[in-house]
Amino acid sequence: MSEPVLPDVAAGRIVGVDVARALALVGMMATHVLPGRVGDEVPWVQQLAGGRASALFAVLAGVSIALVSGRTTPLHGTARRDVSVRLVVRALLIGALGLALGTVPTVIAVILAYYGLLFVLGLPFLGLRARALAGWAVGWALVAPVAAHLLRPHLPPHEVGSPTPGDLLRPGHLLSELLLTGYYPAAVWLAYLLAGMALGRLDLRRTATAARVAVVGVVTAVAATLVSAALLGRPGARAALASTYPDLAHADPELRTDPGALDALLTHGLSGTTPTGSWWWLATVAPHSGTALDLAQTTGSAMAVVGGCVLLVRRRPDVWAAVFGAGAMTLSLYTLHVLLMAQGWWPDWEAPEHFDDQVLVVAVVGAFFALVPLRGPLETVVAVFSQQAGRWARRLPRLEPAVHRGHPG
């Protein structure tokens, strides 16, 4: 009996990263389809994936940027310029797709427009090594939430819904949403991208490196959770949260009298930002709160997943590449998921009972493309345009030597 034909794993490809991407995609799907809150109870799936899946998605974006820009040795000069041009084109295409998907009638806060902006924000850091990138990630996670807390009261208020092409007519408002006031504020989420770039600058294929990443991730996540619990246990902290959250337009009045509602809110999460009425909000680890402790906890979770996945697939990576083929085409499959969630387009595909069906579709499509093998359709479009931009960039005058072997950052 002949063995099944499995995909060849390209030399240098880190299959564990693809597996992590597939898990991030399924996690985001779960938060979109399954109930997020039932009264004062938050289902375990939401507790596990809420905030963490999208953070993993952003951290993996940073890993991808590092992998295409030199891996452990960052590119410089002409090579860095060429990669930067390709990344800008990629960012524009992903951002445009995100705006287009914003017109689809769903309950999903589409991440792609923010995701595209993150690629652009990461360009100035392409020349840094792992240690410098890790330092920047820590510093950004500490400073950006405080800066955002101070700036948001002076910006246009957040509007419910995903950005759409129509928002291009209001560039100031759109930029404010994407950078600071929206569901995935890029100015704060840059910490995730920098952390991912630091991971991508490591040699993740080494067992010891992957194990250290996983252990440091678990310790970071647990420490952030404990620090938050200690801070919110101080006198007046929870009262300050309960009294300032109702200032938001969509506040739940029962927060004033029901402590369980506040617990459910902090467990289920916010909408990308915290209220600015009290500094105590920066002590929370609520999903999608964008606090320093939230960034630390979710970055730690992402590190644990990435390290764990890389360790897990060391044996038979070809099998893992087939089973988790969805991880190699998340742009196409995320788009498919958003379309399947369109209200009124299909018979109840957005209903919770169809979550398993959506996961099955994603898994089967991903496995099919891995086994053929084919690149995802949207991945192909992005690759063609970005590679063409790279060829155009290579015709420009050369800069200094492509690779700079300086001191480790």
79-107 confidence digits (pLDDT tens): 999 999 999 999 999 999 999 999 999 99
* C-alpha to C-alpha distance for 357 and 340, rounded to whole angstroms: 11
Residue 174 belongs to some domain of the structure: yes
Residue 401 belongs to some domain of the structure: no
Residue 400 belongs to some domain of the structure: no
CB 168: neighbour CB atoms within 10 A? Answer: 11
Percent of the chain past pLDDT 90, that is, above it, reads: 75
Residue 2 belongs to some domain of the structure: no
Predicted pLDDT at 263: 85
- The stretch 243-268 carries a mean pLDDT of 66
Higher-pLDDT residue of 196, 249: 196
Q: How many CA atoms lie within 13 A of 316 on its CB side?
A: 7
Kindly report which listed range (68-72, 158-162, 251-255) carries the lowest average pLDDT score: 251-255
Higher-pLDDT residue of 257, 278: 278
The sign of the torsion formed by the CA atoms of 8, 11, 15, 17 equals negative
Rg value, the chain, Cα:
21
Predicted pLDDT at 322: 92
Q: Does residue 408 surpass a pLDDT of 70?
A: no
Average pLDDT over the chain reads 90
Predicted pLDDT at 403: 43
Residue 408 belongs to some domain of the structure: no
Higher-pLDDT residue of 396, 296: 296
pTM of the model: 0.92
116-140 confidence digits (pLDDT tens): 999 999 999 999 999 999 999 999 9
Residue 105 belongs to some domain of the structure: yes
Residue 9 belongs to some domain of the structure: no
Residue 399 belongs to some domain of the structure: no
Give me the domain span that covers residue 20.
15-394
Q: Does residue 250 surpass a pLDDT of 70?
A: no
Tally of domains in the chain: 1
Angle, helix 77-101 to helix 112-122, in steps of 10 degrees: 160
